[in-house]
Amino acid sequence: MNHADTEITVVIPHYNGEDILRDCFASLFRSTELPLRVILIDNASTDGSVAMVAKEFPSVQIIKLDRNRGFAGGCNAGIQAVKTPFVLILNNDTIHESGWIERLLVKLQSDKSLAVVQPKLLSYQDRKYFDYSGACGGEMDIFGFPFARGRIVELVEKDEGQYDHLSERIFWASGTAFLARTDVVKKAGLFDESFLPIWKSSIFSGGSS
């Protein structure tokens, strides 16, 4: 890999789960032809997942933390090591459709006022429906309650292509997966490590917000 040609660094926080991590990396590398730099942030795993990555995916940089700092802390440790103009935050329990990163990058580069874009998130368990954790981009109601296009409270919509070409701005992007300008993320102050989100499995598709 020629890092001089790399524009995107993928940051994946991780704690245990050898099989899900193998599936994630295998899917990630199959899904794109971009020369990605990939960083695994290990939150002090106690299984063999890190050794597996070192053996089966040797291009992945591994940063081992001395304690479990959770999702936010893992992401922050990874972002601080990013030197590329774009950073992709990605959950370790995800699989991906071909070309999804390319489409996000084209969208983000199309407008300098854009800071973050996210893909469409579909449920791993039932891929006809959106995933609960972010669906097609987040909103906030007048009472400060967060919801997402494709998911409101317990109601999750079936994916019928209704958000595939969505280009509207969103209030928040899901931590499950988003592509951002690195300098903007660093200037914003990174993730709040006191916030503990729920992790869910997802599969990513082509629509972006």
Which has more confidence, 160 or 107? 107
C-alpha 55, offset from chain centre: 23
Q: Report CA-CA distances (Å) from 150 to 116, 134, 209.
A: 19, 8, 12
Average pLDDT, the chain: 81
Domains and CATH numbers, the chain: 3-120+165-200 (3.90.550.10)
Alpha-carbon span 7 to 80, nearest angstrom: 16
* Residue 11 backbone zone (phi > 0: left; psi -120 to 50: alpha; other: beta): beta
The tens digit of pLDDT for each residue in 92-127 reads: 989 898 999 999 999 889 888 888 888 887 767 766
Q: What is the DSSP letter of 162?
A: T
pLDDT higher than 80, residue 139: no
Which has more confidence, 89 or 137? 89
Mean pLDDT, residues 183-203 taken together: 67
35-39, 88-92, 144-148: which range is least confident on average? 144-148
